[in-house]
């Protein structure tokens, strides 16, 4: 395994990359040719060039096997999460092209959202390593959601998602909330139990959710998971707290309620509750959530702090 400095030097010198773009998304399909042209104009040699409308994991396997120093993934948080999981502990770096709606991981990792600046980061940035979360052995970049968010992933109509995109999820959530029952969730960490009565609980690895800061001092390289409930039993409280989090997250600290910052935890609920991991359904509670420290190497801007 090369050092981060050596891998950075090899990427700068040889510019060998593999490109995987999720062309199923409207933005990925629209921007693929532009992304490819920018990379080639920057002197990048594409050992694999894969616009994906089918099996993303198969395309990523092919990209990894191409022998590049840098595997560039273009898409939203689901695409980046899959790429991060597959590139963990490999002697190559992930390059992030933020082509999604919220781009939570890109924001957490300080990757510029503007396309020209994101490409410049791939070409002239540096390799850093960041933590991945693990939910019962499944790696994730951003978060685990328990409760309403997982129910929404299951129930959102396919036609509505195709027509309205991400707007389908809040529409579905409002419909489900009218009959959604709150859950009693118990988080066990550091020898203590923390109890929440809520419709929604998250455990975050990164510092952003829904494109907004969770707190001012959470990131993907701090060896911490952040567990927090959104509101209590009251359904209107969930809506109020969601709006409050979006408006004030950049001013809040991990030291304040409702945040519980720990290295690992177990989560149980009074009845089995569905679990989504970075937007994909992954079973139900109970589950164990931990950290895989410095598991993923990725390209970041040259001034990015790296622990």
For 236, counting Cβ atoms within 10 Å of its Cβ (0-12 exposed, 13-18 middle, 19+ buried), the class is exposed
Q: How far apart are CA 191 and CA 150, in angstroms?
A: 28
Looking at residue 173, its pLDDT comes to: 61
Looking at residue 3, its pLDDT comes to: 96
Q: How far apart are CA 194 and CA 187, in angstroms?
A: 5
Contacts 24+ apart (CB under 8 A), 83-89: 83/20, 84/132, 84/139, 84/140, 84/141, 84/296, 84/298, 85/132, 85/138, 85/139, 85/140, 85/141, 86/57, 86/60, 86/61, 87/296, 87/297, 88/132, 88/139, 88/292, 88/295, 88/296, 89/295
Q: Which stretches of 125-185 are DSSP H helices?
A: 148-155, 158-164, 168-177
**Structure token pair of residue 48:** 């694999």
Cα 62 versus chain centre, distance: 22
Per-residue pLDDT of the chain (307 residues; tens, 9 = 90+): 999 999 999 999 999 999 999 988 778 888 899 999 999 999 999 999 999 988 999 999 999 999 999 999 999 899 999 999 999 999 999 999 999 888 999 999 999 999 999 999 999 999 999 999 999 999 999 999 999 888 776 655 444 344 445 554 565 566 666 677 899 999 999 999 999 999 999 999 988 988 899 999 888 889 999 999 998 888 777 778 878 888 888 888 988 888 999 999 999 999 999 999 998 899 999 999 999 999 999 999 999 988 8
Looking at residue 96, its pLDDT comes to: 97
SS3 252: coil
Q: How far apart are CA 290 and CA 305, in angstroms?
A: 23
> Which tens digits make up the pLDDT trace of 166-217?
554 565 566 666 677 899 999 999 999 999 999 999 999 988 988 899 999 8
Q: How far apart are CA 35 and CA 74, in angstroms?
A: 9
Looking at residue 162, its pLDDT comes to: 47
Q: Which residue, chain included where needed, has tokens 């419909």?
A: 175
SS3 51: strand
- Say how many Å lie between the first and final Cα of the chain, rounded: 18
Q: Nearest to residue 109, comparing CAs of 150, 73, 144, 134?
A: 73
């Amino acid at each position: 395994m090369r050092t981060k400095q050596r891998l950075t030097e090899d990427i700068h010198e040889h510019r060998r990359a593999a490109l995987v773009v999720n062309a199923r998304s409207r933005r990925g399909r629209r921007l693929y040719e532009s992304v490819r042209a920018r990379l080639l104009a920057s002197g990048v040699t594409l050992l694999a060039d894969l616009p994906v409308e089918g099996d993303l994991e198969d395309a990523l396997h092919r990209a990894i096997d191409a022998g590049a120093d840098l595997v560039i993934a273009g898409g939203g948080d689901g695409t980046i999460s899959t790429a991060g999981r597959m590139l963990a502990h490999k002697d190559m770096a992930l390059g992030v092209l933020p082509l999604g709606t919220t781009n939570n991981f890109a924001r957490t990792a300080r990757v510029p959202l503007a396309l020209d600046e994101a490409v410049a980061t791939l070409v002239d940035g540096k390799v850093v390593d960041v933590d991945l979360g693990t939910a019962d052995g499944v790696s994730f970049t951003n978060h685990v959601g328990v409760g309403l968010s997982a129910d929404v992933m299951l129930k959102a109509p396919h036609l509505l998602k195709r027509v309205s995109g991400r707007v389908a999820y809040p529409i579905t959530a409002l419909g489900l909330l009218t009959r959604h029952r709150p859950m009693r969730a118990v988080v066990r960490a550091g020898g203590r139990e923390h109890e929440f009565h809520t419709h929604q609980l998250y455990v975050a690895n990164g510092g952003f959710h829904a494109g907004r800061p969770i707190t001012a001092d959470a990131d993907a390289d701090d060896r911490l998971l952040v567990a927090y409930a959104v509101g209590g039993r009251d359904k209107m409280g969930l809506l109020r707290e969601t709006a409050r989090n979006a408006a004030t997250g950049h001013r809040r600290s991990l030291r304040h309620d409702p945040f519980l910052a720990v290295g690992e935890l177990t989560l149980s609920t009074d009845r089995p509750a569905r679990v989504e991991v970075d937007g994909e359904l992954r079973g139900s509670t109970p589950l164990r959530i931990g950290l895989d420290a410095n598991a993923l190497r990725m390209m970041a801007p040259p001034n990015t702090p790296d622990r």
